[in-house]
Amino acid sequence: MAEIGQSIKIGDTLLPNNVLLAPLAGYTDFAFRKLCYSFGAGLCFTEMVSAKGLMYNSEATKRLLHLAPEEEGRTAVQLFGGDPAVMRAACESEHLAPFRIVDINMGCPVPKVYKNGEGSALLADLPQAERIISACKKSGKTVTVKFRIGLDKNSIVAAEFAGMCEGAGADMITVHGRTRDMYYAGEPDYAQIAAAKEAVNIPVIANGGVFSRADAEKLLRETGADGVMVARAA
């Protein structure tokens, strides 16, 4: 069983520890990431970045990619989008040159993202999700995927989705143990995170309900995951 603080390898990148900071819209800018690194985060992510926004050369989108000098090659970028070609183009763009790791958001429950076939909408379209992951992987980046266990309790896809991610080339997955319709309320389903872990041979990061070290240790113990991701508690 993994322990809090042990190193973890994602693709060709060896992280100093397995406690990761989640991408948080409106919060995880370079100043906040710097603070979290100072407290020992093994890996931090940018805020959620629109692949379409990058292709439109949006200044607001590009601002989300600002890195402190010491972050280059260390911080991961999180992209969202529903078009494989646009996602690959974003990965290959000069905007993402400083980033080794690209995380694909397939869990955002927000309606304006969902209705565009992005974020958690991809939980209901595994073939399209697979095409997106495969396209991003062709960019040469290390690719990770963050997703929820399903849209609702009647459409749980955690293990199947995890297996699809690995088959498409993902180097790591992060599983948020809630469904889309739960948003951020209710208890995460550790059993479904464990099922996803059992389904793959790549590193699995468990996410949801981590507000203390004891929570993180329990999450690792009950899911068998390789690491934890801290979100709102940060």
Residues annotated as catalytic (active site), given as ranges: 108
Instruction: Give me 174's structure tokens.
Output: 């992060």
Contacts of 127 (CB under 8 A, 6+ apart): none
- 127 near 161, Cβ under 8 Å? no
Residue environment code for 13-25, b if the CB has 16+ CB neighbours within 10 A, otherwise e = bebebbbbbbbbe
Return d(Cα 112, Cα 109) in angstroms, integer: 9
Rounded Cα–Cα distance for residues 153 and 124 (Å): 13
> Are 157 and 150 contacting, i.e. CB atoms less than 8 angstroms apart?
yes
Residues 6+ apart with CB under 8 A from 4: 17, 18, 19, 213, 216, 217, 220, 228
CA distance 97 to 191: 37
At residue 51's C-alpha, the angle toward residues 119 and 19, to 5°, is: 60
Q: How far apart are CA 109 and CA 120, in angstroms?
A: 6
